[in-house]
Amino acid sequence: MTVLAREIMTPQIKAVPQSWTMNQLARFLTDNEITGSPVTDEHGDVVGIVTLKDITEFRWNATSPDTEAELTPEELAEARRLRLAIFEEMGKVPVEVRDIMTPSVLSVDEQTPVRDIANIMMREHLHRIFVTKESKITGIITTYDMLKLISDRELTQRCAEND
C-alpha cells in the first residue's frame, strides 16, 4: 500500500503575517524551534514562505560586495562604508516578512504518494512543501517528516513494496 502525504505530514502549521518585521520573524522561528513558516496575508491566505535562509541572505546581501575583485582597496573600503550606512538606515525602517519571503508556494495533495513528493523536493531543492485538500493547506511536509520513512519500519516496508 502506497504511503501518502497525509500519513507523514505535520498538520499543525505555524504561519506568520506578511506584515511582521524581520525581527519578529526571527524571534518566532527561534521560539518555535523551526526554520521556516508559511506567510499569510490580512485575509489569512498563504502568500509565500519565509525561512531563516531568507533572513541570512538579506543580511548578507546588505553587507557583502558583489564585485570585490574589480575594485581597488580604497573603492572596496568606500563601498563597504556606503553599504553599512545604507543598512543602518534600513534598520530604522523595519524590514517586513513580505520583503524577504519567497512568494511562490509549492504544494501537493494529501493523496500524493511520498515517492512523488520526494522527487519534487529533490528536483526543486525544497526543505518543506505544503499539503492541501481541496485547495486548502492542511499540513506541511519537511525533510524531517521524510526521514520518518526511514526510521519507521512499517512505512519503509510499504514504500519498498511499491517499487
Is the residue at 19 inside a domain?
A: yes
- Closest C-alpha to 24, from 96, 103, 122, 111: 96
Quick one: the chain helix, strand, coil %, rounded to 5?
50, 20, 30
Is the residue at 77 inside a domain?
A: no
Is the residue at 88 inside a domain?
A: no
**The predicted structure's pLDDT at residue 163:** 56
Is the residue at 51 inside a domain?
A: yes
The CATH number for 138's domain is: 3.10.580.10
Please provide the size of the chain in residues.
163
Domain of residue 49: give its range: 5-56+96-161
Q: Name the more confident of 1 and 138.
A: 138
Is the residue at 66 inside a domain?
A: no
Is the residue at 12 inside a domain?
A: yes
Q: Whole-angstrom Cα distance, residue 119 to residue 126?
A: 10
Q: Evaluate if residue 68 carries a pLDDT over 80.
A: no
Is the residue at 61 inside a domain?
A: no
Q: Whole-angstrom Cα distance, residue 21 to residue 93?
A: 10
- Closest C-alpha to 96, from 21, 38, 15: 21
Structurally, how many domains does the chain consist of?
Answer: 1
**Span 106-162, pLDDT tens digits:** 899 999 999 999 999 999 999 889 998 887 889 999 999 999 888 888 888 888 776
Grid cell digits, residue 33: 524551534
- Closest C-alpha to 109, from 7, 1, 35, 36: 7
Q: Whole-angstrom Cα distance, residue 67 to residue 119?
A: 36
**The predicted structure's pLDDT at residue 120:** 96
Grid cell digits, residue 71: 575594485
Is the residue at 82 inside a domain?
A: no
Q: What share of the chain has pLDDT > 70, as a percent?
A: 87
Q: What share of the chain has pLDDT > 90, as a percent?
A: 37
**The predicted structure's pLDDT at residue 28:** 95
